[in-house]
Amino acid sequence: MEPSSVKAPEATTASAPAASTTLVEPAAEPAAILKTAEHRLLTERGRITKDEALEIQQLPDDQLGHLADLAHRVRLDYCGESVEVESIISGKTGGCPEDCNFCSQSSVFGSEVAPTGFIPPEQLLAAAEATAETGATEFCIVYAVRGPDRRLMDHVLECTKLVHENVKGLEVACSLGILTRDQAYELKDAGVHRYNHNLEAAKSYFPEVCSTHTWEDRMETCELVRETGMELCSGGIIGLGESREQRIEFAFQLAALEPHEVPMNFLNPRPGTPMEDRDLVSPTEAIRTIALFRLIMPSTVIRYAGGREVTLGDLQAMGMKSGVNALITGNYLTTLGDNVARDLGMLEDLKMPIKAVSKVI
Ligand code: SF4
């Protein structure tokens, strides 16, 4: 369904009731709630409060089109019309000792993912070169680990050097889990441009997600990344079992971190994980959540990530017009995403120019 097909009724105001004998319904109230947010964000260039976000979250479904439209206008105003398209490469898959309940790369559960060693540097370089040929500016390498040991740090530093020396104009991003301060600065000094470390969920919900490390452990690494000056990419997964209020809590916790980029994943339950039986988030709830994240973080890059296909189905295009301004395309780390051609076709249909395209590995 195209975004425009989810239409909200025209708002009526208390001063202009319909010519009938029925009492005026509080139809102006939802419109007023969105008007306040619009004024705050687009006229004052300020921020909405948590209470306002909670109010917006409770708007009826017939206001979803208006909410999506506002989020899209906020995105255009703060971020422009281009969309950053990229893919991620796995530097090491599976065998992670942590017990994040959604993750098929954990060795704690009966995982479907076979563990691998580190990607050979020459293979990674070939992938980086192929990526650069597409005009991409960012190359992101992800490792399924709690955090790097010396061996992994040496591997990443070698790969980063190799890419910098051989591939012009390509920034290296990576995701290696929990860092020490020395490791964070080592990566920064090696020229790593952006570091991904997701908070995953609201602080109040994280104990339901993982027992082998804490939300504070994750936050500490995110703060270290900020401290070094590397760009921070930090988001999470919607649909882990958190309440709607915890989604708002999460968005404000991310906003306080001021990340450069927030990847939004939707849970795609993986067989063998403790969350394999979780229900998918409904498409309308997903759109509502994307729009709210945009209103809460107007100038942040908000990236469509894993689970969008199964969650949104035909409403993926509407998601692009609800505040998203970046996407990961092709293969995710452990599940198949939409194919690249379909994603690029969607952006073409939406007349959204592409900022950079990374080759799918
Ligand atoms: S989310 Fe990361 S830390 Fe958690 S189990 Fe998966 S790979 Fe390990």
- Distance (Å, rounded) from C-alpha 289 to C-alpha 247? 8
Cα 101 to ligand 1 centroid, rounded to whole Å? 9
Domain boundaries, position 124:
83-357
pLDDT tens digit at each of 361 positions of the chain = 333 333 333 233 333 333 333 344 444 588 899 999 999 999 999 999 999 999 999 999 999 999 999 999 999 999 999 998 777 788 999 999 999 999 999 999 877 788 889 999 998 898 888 777 766 677 889 999 999 999 999 999 999 999 999 998 788 999 999 999 999 999 999 999 999 999 999 999 999 999 999 999 999 999 999 999 999 999 999 999 999 999 999 999 999 999 999 999 999 999 999 999 999 999 999 999 999 999 999 999 999 998 998 999 889 999 999 999 998 876 555 554 556 778 888 888 999 988 754 444 4
244-259, pLDDT tens digit by residue?
A: 999 999 999 999 999 9
Q: Is residue 256 a part of any domain in this protein?
A: yes
DSSP state of 40: I
Atom of ligand 1 nearest to the CA of 144: 7
Cα 233 to ligand 1 centroid, rounded to whole Å? 16
**Other beta carbons less than 10 A from residue 293's beta carbon:** 27
User: In CATH, what number is assigned to the domain containing residue 194?
Assistant: 3.20.20.70
Q: Is residue 73 a part of any domain in this protein?
A: no
**CA dist list (Å): 309 to 67, 123, 225, 283, 314:** 21, 29, 30, 10, 8
Residue for token pair 């401290």: 227
Residue for token pair 């109230």: 29
Model confidence, pTM? 0.88
Pocket lining: 98 vs ligand 1, CB cutoff 6 Å: yes
Q: Is residue 71 a part of any domain in this protein?
A: no
218-244, pLDDT tens digit by residue?
A: 999 999 999 999 999 999 999 999 999
Q: Is residue 7 a part of any domain in this protein?
A: no
Q: Is residue 205 a part of any domain in this protein?
A: yes
Q: Is residue 17 a part of any domain in this protein?
A: no
Pocket lining: 177 vs ligand 1, CB cutoff 6 Å: yes
**CA dist list (Å): 264 to 184, 261, 291, 303, 325:** 24, 10, 11, 6, 11
Number of folded domains that form the chain: 1
Pocket lining: 100 vs ligand 1, CB cutoff 6 Å: yes
Q: Is residue 133 a part of any domain in this protein?
A: yes
Q: Is residue 141 a part of any domain in this protein?
A: yes
User: Strand, helix or coil at 268?
Assistant: coil
Mean pLDDT of all residues belonging to the chain: 87
